[in-house]
């Protein structure tokens, strides 16, 4: 029987519940357990795939093709475990299932209600992860205690207490202890109120993790324990980190989180070894070199929009004992100021994925700059498509070349809608999604990076390179270094005469981990370091 850890949050959002859940995942994995992680999102969208990155940040894609919450990216990066579509449920999805059952008559004439029908469906989603090989399921409930949408989820996890033995379930609550500058004091009241709210619903947290800016005193820990009815040994501090979010698990282990969880789950003493993780942190703290990478995109203002890209760049830096400084460049600004002005200091340029025409011309100018000046370039998904447009326009002289996504009537359609997409009418979950194999061409930079002849990467797109253009591109020095195994889809391309110019149709950033940086990001940053401008 699997055990269950539930993570809720209070006081404010953006406390880092996802990172905390991921850190608990790593800790439990390293005490020898098989862990599965999951996020329950209270919003009504069926998945975040249809939401703007400005609203929701990055959409994280799993191997099995689910468009999910970006917290799953943290889960994968910390634990090294691959998530599936069972790792993310939304209210929209839960209600869709309930309503479909009702339409099929499966409730046999009963009135369909939040309790028990919706809560049963939520509990089934949680239990769905508890397969025979899994020791612990960690379920993070999105949102903040007190949100109206969150209530059915909290009610479901409250009921769970009666479905499994008491020692098989832990409620973890993450709150904030703010420092009030004017008073020169840290305040526990918001935490007390948040736990009070949770207890009104019927959930008594077993573990409190308290986000702080400054160290928490022993007195304060005792006070929180007393007012929140939580064992003082179960009150943990999660202080703002100095260098990297990957410090969190170590911070928690230093306070005995591993032992506490093991004991609480009735597991007896367990040893934890985080030495490889600590070495990785050492590399982050003591970089020997630096590379400046410009990420040129449309959603630059928001830190979360290209989350996995930024993380993958940081991982690549770790593998070179280098600090990667990311310069977030707004592609629309490139249209106004020109590439030279904004990119002159960059050792490497990356154009990430995206949708829609806004900012496209800026991305194309940035790519032209990278190609002509020999600056290492990595193009991802839309980044590859823009590289194809740039090459067609400026090398092959097809001045009006474009993707039919942006100019449906273009005379030179270098990027076109995929055949399988032509009949698609629904927006949600209908792109080419999930992991596909890619055959890597011999003697290419792509193959050199992967070190094998097959890659297995995740996709999220509707458009593809137009095969009718292949010959022209090849004759002018473009190599199609990655193809689908049947040879029909261009999955990657690179320039023959350039220090490092590689583009992929997939999203390799989703598979990069701090202990196992993605080879393409590693080689991209390696090339940036090699050609560094001093
Ligand atoms: N908009 C492009 C497409 O649908 C690229 C998608 C992406 O970058 N993820 O093909």
Q: Which helix (H) or strand (E) holds 432?
A: strand 432-440
Q: Which one, of 287, 345, 350, 363, lies nearest residue 320 by Cα?
A: 287
Q: Which residues contact 73 (CB under 8 A, 6 or more apart)?
A: 58, 60, 307, 308, 311, 510
What does the block give as tokens for 133? 């090989």
Sign of CA dihedral 403, 297, 504, 512: negative
Rounded Cα distance, 331 and 382, in Å:
13
The number of the ligand 1 atom at minimal distance from the alpha carbon of 415 is 10
The number of the ligand 1 atom at minimal distance from the alpha carbon of 431 is 4
pLDDT value of position 486 = 96
How far apart are the CA of 460 and the centre of ligand 1, in A? Answer: 7
Q: Which helix (H) or strand (E) holds 475?
A: helix 470-475
Ligand 1 pocket at CB < 6 A: 353-355, 381-382, 385, 405, 460-463
HSE, side-chain direction, 13 A CA sphere, residue 218: 0
Rounded Cα distance, 262 and 265, in Å:
5
How many other CB atoms sit within 10 Å of the CB of residue 181? 8
Question: Is this model's pTM higher than 0.75 or not?
Answer: yes
Rounded Cα distance, 519 and 282, in Å:
21
The protein residue with its alpha carbon nearest to ligand 1, atom 1, reads 355
How far apart are the CA of 20 and the centre of ligand 1, in A? Answer: 31
pLDDT value of position 135 = 96
Strand order in the sheet with 402-403: 402-403, 413-417, 463-465
How far apart are the CA of 505 and the centre of ligand 1, in A? Answer: 8
How far apart are the CA of 337 and the centre of ligand 1, in A? Answer: 25
Q: Which residues contact 247 (CB under 8 A, 6 or more apart)?
A: 241, 281
Taking phi first (over 0 means left), then psi (-120 to 50 degrees means alpha), and beta for anything else, what does residue 219 get? alpha
How far apart are the CA of 405 and the centre of ligand 1, in A? Answer: 9
The protein residue with its alpha carbon nearest to ligand 1, atom 3, reads 461
**Ligand 1 pocket test, candidate residues 461, 492, 509, most atoms within 8 A of CB:** 461
- Beta strands (DSSP E) in 142-184 are 169-177, 179-180
List active site positions. 381, 507, 509
Cβ atoms 294, 306 nearer than 8 A: no
What does the block give as tokens for 224? 């929180």
Rounded Cα distance, 346 and 242, in Å:
25
Q: Which residues contact 485 (CB under 8 A, 6 or more apart)?
A: 437, 438, 439
pLDDT value of position 1 = 87
How far apart are the CA of 432 and the centre of ligand 1, in A? Answer: 10
How far is CA 392 from each of CA 71, 146, 156, rounded to the nearest angstrom?
A: 38, 54, 55
HSE, side-chain direction, 13 A CA sphere, residue 220: 20
The protein residue with its alpha carbon nearest to ligand 1, atom 8, reads 353
The number of the ligand 1 atom at minimal distance from the alpha carbon of 355 is 1
**Ligand 1 pocket test, candidate residues 385, 464, 505, most atoms within 8 A of CB:** 385
The number of the ligand 1 atom at minimal distance from the alpha carbon of 459 is 9
Q: Which one, of 341, 330, 335, 333, lies nearest residue 296 by Cα?
A: 330
Cβ atoms 312, 517 nearer than 8 A: yes
The number of the ligand 1 atom at minimal distance from the alpha carbon of 380 is 8
How far apart are the CA of 509 and the centre of ligand 1, in A? Answer: 15
Q: Which residues contact 486 (CB under 8 A, 6 or more apart)?
A: none
pLDDT value of position 302 = 82
How far apart are the CA of 381 and the centre of ligand 1, in A? Answer: 6
The number of the ligand 1 atom at minimal distance from the alpha carbon of 383 is 8
Rounded Cα distance, 306 and 299, in Å:
8
Q: Which residues of 137-176 are buried (b: 16+ CB within 10 A; e: fewer)?
A: bbbbbbbbbbeeebbbbbbbbbbbbeeeeeebbbbbbbbb
**Ligand 1 pocket test, candidate residues 357, 358, 414, 460, most atoms within 8 A of CB:** 460
The protein residue with its alpha carbon nearest to ligand 1, atom 5, reads 382
The protein residue with its alpha carbon nearest to ligand 1, atom 9, reads 353
Ranges in the chain, pLDDT < 50:
none
């Amino acid at each position: 029987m699997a055990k269950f850890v539930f993570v809720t949050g209070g006081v404010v959002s953006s406390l880092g519940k996802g990172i905390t859940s991921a850190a608990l995942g790593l800790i439990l994995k390293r005490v020898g357990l098989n862990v599965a992680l999951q996020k329950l999102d209270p919003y009504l969208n069926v998945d975040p795939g249809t939401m703007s990155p400005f609203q929701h940040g990055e959409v994280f894609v799993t191997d099995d093709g689910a468009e999910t919450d970006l917290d799953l990216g943290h889960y994968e990066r910390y634990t090294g475990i691959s998530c599936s579509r069972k790792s993310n449920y939304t209210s929209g999805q839960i209600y869709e299932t309930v309503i479909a059952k009702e339409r099929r008559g499966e409730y046999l004439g009963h009135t369909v209600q939040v309790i028990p029908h919706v809560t049963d469906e939520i509990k089934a989603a949680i239990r769905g992860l508890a397969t025979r090989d899994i020791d612990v399921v960690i379920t993070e409930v999105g949102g903040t205690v007190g949100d109206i949408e969150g209530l059915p989820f909290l009610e479901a996890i409250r009921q769970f207490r009666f479905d499994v033995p008491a020692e098989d379930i832990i409620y973890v609550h993450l709150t904030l202890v703010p420092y009030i500058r004017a008073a020169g004091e840290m305040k526990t009241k918001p935490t007390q109120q948040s736990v009070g709210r949770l207890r009104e619903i019927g959930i008594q947290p077993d573990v409190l993790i308290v986000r702080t800016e400054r160290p928490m005193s022993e007195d304060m820990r005792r006070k929180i324990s007393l007012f929140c009815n939580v064992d003082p040994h179960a009150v943990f501090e999660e202080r703002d980190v100095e260098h990297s979010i990957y410090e969190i698990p170590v911070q928690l282990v230093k306070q005995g989180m591993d032992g506490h969880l093991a004991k609480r789950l009735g597991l007896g003493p367990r040893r934890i070894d985080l030495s490889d993780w600590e070495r990785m942190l050492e590399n982050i703290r003591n970089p020997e070199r630096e590379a400046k990478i410009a990420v040129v995109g449309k959603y630059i203002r928001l830190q979360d929009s290209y989350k996995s890209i930024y993380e993958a760049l940081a991982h690549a830096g770790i593998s070179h004992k280098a600090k990667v400084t990311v310069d977030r460049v707004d592609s629309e600004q490139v249209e106004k100021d020109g590439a030279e002005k904004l990119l002159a200091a960059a050792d490497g340029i990356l154009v990430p994925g995206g949708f829609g025409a806004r900012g496209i011309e800026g991305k194309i100018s940035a790519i032209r700059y990278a190609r002509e000046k020999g600056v290492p370039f990595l193009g991802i998904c839309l980044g590859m498509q823009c590289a194809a447009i740039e090459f067609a326009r400026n090398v092959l002289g097809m001045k009006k070349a474009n993707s039919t996504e942006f100019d449906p009537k273009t005379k030179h359609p270098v990027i076109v809608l995929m055949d399988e997409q032509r009949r698609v009418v629904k927006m949600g979950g209908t792109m080419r999604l999930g992991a596909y194999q890619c055959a890597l061409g011999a003697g290419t930079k792509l193959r050199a990076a992967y070190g094998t002849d097959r890659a297995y990467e995740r996709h999220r797109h509707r458009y593809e390179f137009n095969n009718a253009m292949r010959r022209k591109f090849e004759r002018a020095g473009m190599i199609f270094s990655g193809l689908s195994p049947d040879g029909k889809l261009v999955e990657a391309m690179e320039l023959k005469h350039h220090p490092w110019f590689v583009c992929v149709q997939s999203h390799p950033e989703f598979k990069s981990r701090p202990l196992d940086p993605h080879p393409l990001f590693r080689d991209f940053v390696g090339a940036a370091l090699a050609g560094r401008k001093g």
